[in-house]
Amino acid sequence: MQNPENQEEHRKKINFIVPKKREVPNGYFNDHWVQIIIKQNPIKQPLAGLTNFGNSCFLNSVLQCLMYCPGLPFFAENIPHIVLERSINKDCFLYHFEKLSREMKSCKTATPSVFFENLTKISAPMKPGYQQDAHEFLFELLNIFDDECQRAWNKNHDYFDTAVHALFGSTLKETRICDSCMNVVSSISRVLDISLPIDKWGKNETPTIEKCLMHFMNPSESVSGFKCEKCNSIGTMSNSYTFENTPYILIITMMRFSATGQKIEMNVDFDFELDISFCSQPSLQTQYELFAVVVHNGHQINFGHFTSAFKIGKVWYSADDTTVTKVSPKSIKLSKPYILFYRRKIVMEPIIVQFGIPENENSQ
């Protein structure tokens, strides 16, 4: 049994990671917060497999990968007091993610029934019992997690950095140059993942993930139909992107499906380590290591089967619905992943953390 001093320190730590205050200062969930949370309760052995309710493998594969995202399960596991103490009902998906996380640690097969039965709440076009796109489900679920954090800690509904964006979010700077007058216009966008087209390459080519990323960030072709604000001409422009802020968890989706849903069977070469310094601001941390993937087996998005794989320590495991088995790193390389999850190699800085945030008498 913990002594009172240790219990108090633990309470302060939890309140730092999942603050109880209704108003949290913007910027609270920052790199220092990430450095603290990613070290909490690392997973040391595979979690349970997940029941397939009928064409729900897309859902299972995404949930498995999210469970191994450093920091996210621990954050979710400490969310219940927020859900219960505020006007947020138990339809909160972060709350159910926490429940599923606990279930997966205590049994051989877990049942993500809440996510399956409430698919239309996650994404309106999705219906239980039909095969869906794992990437679309992942994107919509992360946005819902983000919205729930917004509602929990920001009663004014102004946008602010959430725990979801602290873990997954990156900032892209787009630079557009008018080909007529060379006028430069820049804009900033916030994203939770990067989707890379792979249909630009020939059938006999094997591009690397770095080459695909470089082509996405610095397209070689100009964009037509662009109206320049300076010279008022309608013509072409050149555009490029750079990372203004790199995410801790970098999600890269290979766009393996055409507009008709046909699978693009392109092999993209990738390493277990990734350096994105070539498309990032010089001061950023840009070294990543692969820790999870979603794989699609089949020839069309509406058919086939989704599985996932994840790394614990130095060992890779595959999760195929209820079945979780060890696999070789070589099998991961040959699997033609659809979605890749990379975690940033953080250069740990000496920090002094005071758990808790300043009291505000007006907070509820």
Residue 297 main-chain phi, psi, to 5 deg: -110, 120
pLDDT score of 265: 86
Residue 40 pLDDT exceeds 70? yes
The per-residue pLDDT of the chain, averaged, comes to: 85
Residues 6+ apart with CB under 8 A from 12: 355, 356
Task: Compute the distance between CA of residue 176 and CA of residue 188 in angstroms, rounded to an integer.
Answer: 12
Q: Is the model's pLDDT at 157 over the cut of 90?
A: no
Q: In angstroms, rounded to a whole number, what is the distance separating the alpha carbons of residues 117 and 111? A: 11
% of the chain beyond a pLDDT of 90: 52
Mean pLDDT of 127-143: 93
Q: Which domains does the chain have, with CATH numbers?
A: 4-344 (3.90.70.10)
- The predicted pLDDT at position 364 comes to 40
The answer, yes or no, to whether residue 115 has pLDDT greater than 90, is yes
What percentage of the chain exceeds 70 in pLDDT?
82
2 has pLDDT over 50: no
Q: Measuring CA to CA, which residue among 340, 336, 325 is closest to residue 293?
A: 340
Enter the DSSP assignment of 278.
G
363 falls in which pLDDT band (50, 70, 90)?
very low
User: Is the pLDDT score of 195 beyond 50?
Assistant: yes
The predicted pLDDT at position 92 comes to 82
Q: What is the pLDDT of residues 160-175, one digit of tens each?
A: 678 899 999 999 999 9
